Amino acid sequence: MHRGGILYLKGTAIKVGGIFLAITGYLGMIVTLIIGLMLLLGSSVTGWQMEINVMAALMGGFSVAFAVMGIIGTSNACTVSRFGKYVKMIGNREYCDVKEFAQQSGRSVKAVVKDLKKMIKKGWFRQGHLDEQETCLMTSNEAYRQYTALMERTRREKQEKEERAAKEQEEFSRLSPEVQKIIEAGDEYVRAIKAANDAIPGEEISEKIARMEMLVDRIFDRVEQKPDTVSDIRKLMDYYLPMTMKLLQAYEDLDAQPVQGENIISSKIEIEKTIDTLNVAFEKLLDDLFQDTAWDVSSDISVLNTMLAQEGLTEDEIRK
């Protein structure tokens, strides 16, 4: 038994009932058919032809009813048999892919989904649920609770992401065409640096390029926040970033060579040192872009300290 309760209905009684229904139905169909045929044959030698024909028609109706009973019984027995196979496939798991059922049972995915829905509706899977896409069966309420919580979190994160993107787009649209163009170019450089990093396997150089990507990304984020700083990155756009991409491409080409000779190794070392230098320069540039903020904070702190001193609320005044 699962700690959250019984997961599966024991289908023995249902299967036996289905078999009994099938046998009864098919036997009843045969018997009523025979009686009906005998009545039809007998009607030709008696004077009760109309009455016998009515009785034969009734036997035909009973035969159809018994046939339906037999079909239903057979269907129930087969469905219970498949249910047992599904339970065996699941084992101790609480999640199972519908495709796995289809592959192991030899049935189509559509037929398996129809089976599972029917079994869940009948209560054979006591705590059974299908996911929204009908691709996975969850056999316990706890598993379904975890799934619904995950789906809710995913939907919420998607909504938040869309809202952030809409807000960023709105803020971006307020920028001047010149700043927009620079931001878009900056995003292209960030993507290009990342692509270069993905193409270069070395761990140490990869860490350096990853740091460069982060710094360049933050520089352009700052320019987007404070468009008046765009003039401070002219040299970055016109020289440093184009040169950076040229160096990264050269390093990628050198690193791809099957034979790492002395000249190749020496050139790679020089490029790595230059990347270190560029990272220091980019850090300094990013820091400079926050200079106005630093001045504002310093001014606010100075005013705050003056006001606290006037009110006698500073530590020195309290000690007096």
Q: Helix, strand, coil: what percent of the chain each, to 5? A: 80, 5, 15
- The pLDDT, as a whole number, for residue 297 is 47
Mean pLDDT (10-residue bins), the chain, 320 residues = 58 53 65 67 59 67 70 69 83 88 89 89 86 90 90 92 83 79 92 95 92 94 86 88 93 91 92 92 88 51 57 54
In this predicted model, what pLDDT tens digit does every residue of 119-141 receive, in sequence order?
888 888 888 899 989 999 998 88
Going by C-alpha positions, the residue among 63, 64, 40 that lies closest to residue 52 is 40
pLDDT in tens, 143-156: 899 999 999 999 99
Terminal CA-to-CA distance of the chain, rounded, Å? 75
pLDDT at 19: 59
Which residues touch 109 (CB under 8 Å, ≥6 apart)?
A: 98, 99, 102
Q: What is the pLDDT of residue 177?
A: 85
Report how far residue 127's alpha carbon sits from residue 1's, in angstroms, rounded to the nearest whole number: 12
Q: Where are the domains of the chain?
A: 12-142, 175-289
Beta carbons of 156 and 162 less than 8 angstroms apart:
no
Instruction: Tell me how far the alpha carbon of residue 229 is from its chain's centroid.
Output: 40
Quote the pTM value.
0.51
Share of the chain above pLDDT 90, in %: 32
Q: Can you tell me the distance from the alpha carbon of 101 to that of 165, in angstroms, rounded to the nearest whole number? A: 40
Q: Do residues 219 and 233 make contact, with C-beta atoms less than 8 angstroms apart?
A: yes
The pLDDT value given to residue 105: 85
DSSP string for 141-182: HHHHHHHHHHHHHHHHHHHHHHHHHHHHHHHHHTS-HHHHHH
pLDDT at 232: 86
